[in-house]
Structures are given as C-alpha cells and as structure tokens.
Amino acid sequence: MGQLSYPLDQESKKIVERTVDEFLEQKVFDLIWKKTFHWLEMFDSLDGCHVVADASTIDYNGIAISTSNVNADTAYVQKTPSWQGLITFSQRSNLRSNFVISSVTNVTAYILVGNTYSGQSYYGFKIVNNVLKGVSFDGSTQKTVDLMTIEASTSYAIEARYSPAGKIIFLVNTVERGVITENLPSRIEVANVYPLNFSITTNTTAVKTLQFSFWEYLQSRNILR
C-alpha cells in the first residue's frame, strides 16, 4: 500500500480505524493513569477537611463557612493530604469552582491551590470587598490582576488555568477575564499538600460568609512513566 493521501478513501479509513482501535484504549488508559491527576469534590461531607470557622454548614447547596463578628477573624476550610506526593506546581494544572459571598464590604477571601503561609506558593482567586482578582504567589511576592466587580449573594463560576511555562489564565462564568505572567508558584518539584484552600476574613465587627458547591482540580503528572 502506498502513502496515504487526504482525504482518505473509505478503505483507507477502515484500515486506519482498525489500527487505532488496536492501541487507543490502552493508550488513553495509560495517559489518564500515569500522566494526569483529577479530583472532583462535591462536598457530601466535611469529614476529612480541616475546618476553622465560627460557623460551618453543609447542605444540598454545598458548604458555607462564616467568621465571627470580631474584626480580623478568619474562617477557612482546607484539604491537606500530606503524603500523596502527586500535586506539584512544576506541572500544568487547572482549577474550577464557584462561590457566593454574603457581603462585599470589609471582607477579604481566598480560593486557592496552595497555602498562604509564609514562604509557600499558591494561585487562584482573591476577593477584596467587591473586586474579584486573580492571584499568584511565588513564595515571596503576591501578584494580582483585577477580574471584575462582584455583588453579594450572587453565584460566580471561576476557573484558573496554570502553565508553569509562564502564565495563569483566569475565567469567570466561562469568560476570560485576566492573565498573570509574573510571580508564578515555585516550579521546584515538591509536593503541594494544599490542593484546596478556601478562606474568608472579616475586616470589621460583622459576620462574613463564603459558600461554594464544588471543587475540581486537574493536573499533568510526570511521576509514572
């Protein structure tokens, strides 16, 4: 048989299809198992989460965490699987979630992969009053980009697409809103033990509440060959 030419005739299509079928299933299976990490969390329970909040609830809508009415009080929920060794900022990754915030005055909130402790990297979203921002931290410097003005008691679908080669793309309600190309998370290939990190801080003497329904995270891997 000579070299195939495009468009393929029917017989050539059948030959290609049979050949692809011979290896495609195993190839796809290996690609998913060896080269990707995927986590979808619908929050059926708070079991296994690290929750610090004046009040926290979970129902058919999802999770709600609330501060107290003490200025500078912070409520948060985290997932910290310390020994998984899979999640790293050295690889491409995407995150997707949603949120509803009770107030857009005197409030700061984060929705992240990574941790805000000193010296650790992260990326995701930051809320400062009525402004939703994309955020990145390289271990020493935080970089933000304003994405849009938000309203209280309104649901927003958020997505961040991280490339260690040089940028993070931020989307809100499926529309691209901003890009960060500086101060990206450290690309040193060490495990990130904070694959989920939500927090909200009240900057006044009033309760602030953050709600979210799901969390999705997808990452390339290069650990298994």
Mean local confidence (pLDDT), 10-29: 83
How far apart, in Å, are the Cα atoms of 154 and each of 77, 81, 82, 109, 211?
A: 20, 31, 34, 15, 10
Predicted confidence (pLDDT) per residue in 152-199, tens digit = 999 999 999 999 989 999 999 999 999 999 999 987 756 677 889 999
DSSP-assigned states of every residue in 41-56? E--S--TTSEEE-SEE
End-to-end, the C-alpha distance of the chain in Å comes to 34
Element (H, E) at 86: none
Decide if domain 39-220 falls under CATH 2.60.120.200.
Answer: yes
Distance CA 121, CA 48 (A): 23
Q: Partners of 178 in the beta sheet?
A: 170
% of the chain at pLDDT higher than 70: 95
| Digit-coded pLDDT (tens) for 53-66 | 999 999 988 999 99
pLDDT at 224: 47
Instruction: Classify residue 140 by its DSSP letter.
Output: S
**Distance in angstroms (rounded) separating the CA atoms of residues 87 and 79:** 12
130 token code pair? 């009525």
**pLDDT grade for 211, boundaries at 50, 70 and 90:** very high
Which run of H or of E encompasses 29?
helix 10-35
Residue 213 in contact with residue 98, Cβ under 8 Å?
yes
Report domain extents, the chain: 1-35, 39-220
> For 84-111, what is the mean pLDDT?
93
Residues in the chain: 225
